[in-house]
């Protein structure tokens, strides 16, 4: 792998001439994928797709889940072989057999989920798998020095000696970028890099991406967040059902254009939230406190209430108490002090099972991890809380006939796309798994719903559907606590917004009277608001 080796030996790191990148590597002037076809049993995942990217350009790849974005990029990265079609690098045909090949050609990939060893330092993570310059001993000092140089050239703030587990999500993302650059990436595939970042971190990241493009890197940006694509990219290619629907310059495009191209029909991006018809208080938190395993307070004197027929949003930067709040109400995290009431009953010390029994529904934020049993069928997943209760069982034997009918009813009612009710949940797309969880939680006819990140990583069509379901339940009198890091979502759906910072309530504001900027300041702990 000529590039990487030169790079490691530091040979290429001399000049910053016009065809070299700041990392000292040659640019990838153009990369072109022509007529790519990839078939899977029963599915045409990629149907004669043409796609190209040039040095200095950020090219967006837009499409719903299952549209074929990942398939195309896996082909580019050598994880899949195309059934038909060719790849050209700087006009020459290349064949990419494996990720080793793609790295050799200067193609790097930043995955949506970080590929970092948590208890190692940045330098150790970057050096992982690369030959040392003085085998068999490690050369972490050399690696660290190079990381510092790279970080400086690209304006990335990264300390090579930090341990990954101590870093914030945004910092980990930068480590991934450094890692790709260190390995000699001239073309970077960014697979939904913003999925786990806060608005501020996204802005920082975009500055870095723009700088990289300006320096001559070619960037492929995969996303289904229309705002980000419009803000960042130069051109956009829309995929739908494995086919390229067209490539166009981003300038001049609107969200509505792109959404329609992506979904194949007109999508409503705005949510219609009629005035609330607030009923009595359903859920009430009174001075709730909680600590983490190390005894550090993570919820401090949290008090608010949620009325029937109301959606209360919880806004905050990730890790400011949203998770313990949701888990505390559900009985999954111990509340050290304070009381929680459902209508007039004290529910503070109830177990999760008891909470579910008296009418709590909870959509956990980590849906694959905490929301479904991946190897269970759709039907089995739909009875995860209620399998012991009639009519799903008589307490001993499961009532398969009823369970099947129940599944059939919910699959239709909530438009869960699945080959059958016996399909394992892991074979469903993210949006459909979320619909499955939503179906399960709403069909239980809850008195309170906690929805944590209900649309994170979910495509536009499913998001629209989930939002409408939440609003429909609101109209029917459900009390919903909506926890989300997507401020647009919180603002669009919530009647009132509780802002959390460091486990404290910074304010409770009426959603229609607050601006995103004000929310941002409260989320950063710089402003308190009068309680609404």
Residues forming contacts to another protein in the complex (CB under 8 A) are 39-43, 45, 65-66, 69-71, 73-74, 79, 111-113, 115, 191-192, 330, 332, 351-356, 362, 364, 366, 368-376, 380, 384-385, 387-388, 393, 395-398, 400, 417-419, 423-424, 426-433, 457-458
Q: Biggest alpha carbon distance in the chain?
A: 76
**Strand-pair category, 504-510 with 496-501:** antiparallel
Q: CB-based contacts of 167: which residues, under 8 Å, 6+ apart?
A: 122, 175
Q: What is the nearest approach in angstroms of another protein to the Cβ of residue 80?
A: 9
Q: Which of residues 156 and 330 has its CB atom nearest to another protein in the complex?
A: 330
Q: Which of residues 25 and 350 has its CB atom nearest to another protein in the complex?
A: 350
Q: CB-based contacts of 118: which residues, under 8 Å, 6+ apart?
A: 163, 164, 165
Q: What is the nearest approach in angstroms of another protein to the Cβ of residue 44?
A: 9
Q: Which of residues 23 and 71 has its CB atom nearest to another protein in the complex?
A: 71
CB 460 within 8 A of CB 267: yes
| Angle subtended at Cα 24 by Cα 19 and Cα 29, rounded to the nearest 5 degrees | 35
Q: Which of residues 420 and 510 has its CB atom nearest to another protein in the complex?
A: 420
Q: What is the nearest approach in angstroms of another protein to the Cβ of residue 393?
A: 5
Q: What is the nearest approach in angstroms of another protein to the Cβ of residue 4?
A: 21
Burial (CB < 10 A; 0-12, 13-18, 19+), residue 100, is exposed
Cross-strand bridge partners of residue 424: 377
Q: Which of residues 113 and 166 has its CB atom nearest to another protein in the complex?
A: 113
- Coil, strand or helix at 191: strand
- Coil, strand or helix at 102: helix
Q: What is the nearest approach in angstroms of another protein to the Cβ of residue 402?
A: 13
Token pair of 78, please?
A: 């050598």
Q: What is the nearest approach in angstroms of another protein to the Cβ of residue 241?
A: 9
Give the long-range contacts of residues 202-205, CB within 8 A, separation 24 or more: 202/228, 204/170, 205/170, 205/173, 205/174
Pick from 26, 46, 141, 132: which is nearest to 89 by CA?
26
Q: Which of residues 157 and 423 has its CB atom nearest to another protein in the complex?
A: 423
Q: What is the nearest approach in angstroms of another protein to the Cβ of residue 111?
A: 5
CB atoms within 10 A of CB 210: 14
Q: What is the nearest approach in angstroms of another protein to the Cβ of residue 88?
A: 23
Cross-strand bridge partners of residue 182: none
Token pair of 258, please?
A: 């792109």
Q: Which of residues 303 and 393 has its CB atom nearest to another protein in the complex?
A: 393
Q: Which of residues 40 and 287 has its CB atom nearest to another protein in the complex?
A: 40
């Amino acid at each position: 792998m000529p590039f990487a080796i030169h790079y490691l030996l530091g040979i290429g790191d001399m000049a910053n001439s016009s065809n070299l990148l700041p990392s000292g590597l040659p640019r990838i002037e153009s990369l072109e994928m022509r007529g790519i076809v990839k078939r899977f049993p029963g599915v045409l995942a990629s149907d004669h797709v043409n796609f190209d990217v040039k040095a200095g350009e950020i090219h967006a790849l837009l499409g719903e889940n299952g549209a074929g974005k990942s398939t195309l990029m896996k082909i580019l990265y050598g994880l899949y072989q195309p059934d038909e079609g060719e790849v050209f690098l700087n006009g020459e045909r290349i064949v990419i057999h494996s990720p080793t090949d793609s790295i050799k050609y200067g193609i790097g990939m930043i995955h949506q989920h970080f590929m970092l060893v948590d208890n190692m330092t940045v330098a150790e993570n970057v050096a992982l798998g690369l030959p040392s310059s003085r085998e068999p001993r490690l050369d972490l000092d050399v690696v660290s020095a190079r990381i510092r140089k790279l970080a400086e050239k690209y304006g990335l703030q990264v300390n090579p000696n930090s341990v990954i587990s101590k870093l914030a999500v945004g910092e980990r993302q930068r480590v991934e970028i450094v890692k790709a650059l260190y390995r000699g990436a001239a073309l970077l595939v960014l697979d939904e890099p913003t999925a786990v970042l806060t608005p501020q971190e996204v802005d920082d990241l975009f500055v870095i991406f723009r700088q990289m493009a300006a320096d001559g890197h070619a960037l492929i940006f995969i996303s289904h967040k229309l705002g980000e694509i419009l803000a960042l990219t130069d051109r956009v290619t829309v995929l739908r059902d494995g086919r390229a629907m067209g490539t166009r310059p981003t300038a001049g495009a609107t969200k509505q254009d792109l959404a329609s191209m992506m979904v194949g029909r007109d999508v409503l991006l705005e949510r219609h939230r009629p005035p609330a018809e607030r009923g009595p208080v359903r859920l009430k938190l009174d001075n709730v406190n909680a600590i983490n395993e190390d005894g550090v307070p993570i919820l401090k004197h949290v008090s608010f209430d949620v009325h029937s027929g109301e959606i209360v949003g919880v806004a905050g930067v990730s890790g400011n108490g949203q998770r313990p709040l949701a888990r505390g109400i559900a009985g999954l995290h111990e509340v050290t002090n304070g009381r929680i009431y459902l209508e007039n009953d004290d529910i503070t010390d109830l177990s999760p099972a008891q909470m579910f029994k008296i009418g709590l529904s909870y959509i956990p934020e980590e849906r694959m991890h905490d929301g479904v049993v991946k190897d269970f069928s759709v039907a089995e997943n739909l009875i995860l809380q209620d399998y012991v209760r009639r009519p799903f069982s008589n307490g001993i034997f499961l009532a398969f006939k009823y369970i099947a009918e129940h599944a059939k009813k919910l699959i239709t009612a909530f438009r869960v796309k699945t080959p059958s009710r016996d399909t394992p949940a892991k074979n469903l797309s993210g949006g459909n798994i979320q619909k499955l969880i939503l179906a399960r939680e709403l069909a239980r006819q809850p008195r309170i719903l906690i929805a944590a990140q209900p649309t994170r990583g979910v495509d536009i069509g499913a998001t629209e559907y989930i939002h409408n379901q939440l609003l429909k339940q609101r109209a029917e009198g459900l009390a919903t606590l909506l926890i989300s890091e997507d401020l647009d979502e919180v603002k669009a759906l919530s009647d009132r917004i509780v802002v959390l910072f460091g486990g404290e309530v910074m304010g409770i504001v009426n959603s229609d009277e607050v601006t995103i900027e004000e929310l941002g300041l409260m989320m950063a702990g710089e402003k308190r608001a009068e309680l609404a």
